[in-house]
Amino acid sequence: MNLTLHVWRQNGSKTSGKLVTYNANNVSEDSSFLEMLDEVNEGLIANDEEPIAFDHDCREGICGSCSMMINGVAHGPERHTTACQLHMRSFKDGDEIYIEPWRAKAFPIIKDLVVDRNSFDKVIQAGGYVSVSTGGVPDANAIPIGKDYADSAMDAAECIGCGACVASCKNASAMLFVAAKVSHLALLPQGQPERKNRVLNMVKTMDDAGFGNCTNQYECEAACPKGISVEFIAKMNRDFLKAGLASKD
């Protein structure tokens, strides 16, 4: 298939950017979206032009690096799919495709489609871990956990921190990401000793990073490649309220 790409090109957050048009010809419908970009970049390099900068690592839908808006939708048109898992058969011959980076104050553009997501790392550093000693793996697994709690914790832990929730939200809110990281530990016995401080610190770090507020439009859940439920936001809000009241006692 032959496609027309409109790709955002920008050399850093302090410079202006623009959409640049490229032709992607003879694209196999079985190739992935990133493989298609690889082929376009090979052509640019062969013509002594600067290749399109985009982030990638595992290309298996695990790392969350392939963050990009495709025709205005985070990760593209397929639900529960990352950009690296998106195949070109999702498009038609002759289609025009607009490719842009995440748009958020907390995700400044590094170059082209690459954004700085260190703000997510700071949120994790604020409490997304367990510092109590849990022993070795057999010791930790010896703690009985109800199936409903275990399943819910695993659902929250599926978050890969890609930032699609932020990019799809009109307020650039990171509530779904933070809620997932808070909740998966709050549902496990190992996460209980630091539960109150964890939610207070992580929410504060989220606010300090410049993320917007949640207005319950659920675009985050719709765009999430792992289908993280907004129910975790409600759970985090309850924990945050309880922790805030307890800290005043």
Q: What is the pLDDT of residue 132?
A: 79
CA nearest 172: which of 209, 124, 202? 209
Report if pTM > 0.95.
no
- Residue ending a domain, among 111, 141, 169, is 111
19 and 123 housed in the same domain = no
What's the CA gap between 199 and 242, in Å, rounded?
Answer: 10
Domain span at residue 170? 118-247
70 and 18 housed in the same domain = yes
**Helix residue ranges per DSSP H, 118-163:** 118-125, 137-141, 147-157
147 and 207 housed in the same domain = yes
> Residues 102-117: what's their mean pLDDT?
97
Give tens-digit pLDDT for 145-182: 899 999 999 999 999 999 999 999 999 999 999 999 99
Query: Number of structural domains, the chain?
Result: 2
Q: What is the pLDDT of residue 142?
A: 78
User: Helix (H, G, I), strand (E, B), or coil: what is residue 6?
Assistant: strand
56 and 144 housed in the same domain = no
166 and 219 housed in the same domain = yes
Give tens-digit pLDDT for 221-235: 999 999 999 999 999
Give tens-digit pLDDT for 17-65: 999 999 999 999 999 999 999 999 999 999 999 999 999 999 999 999 9
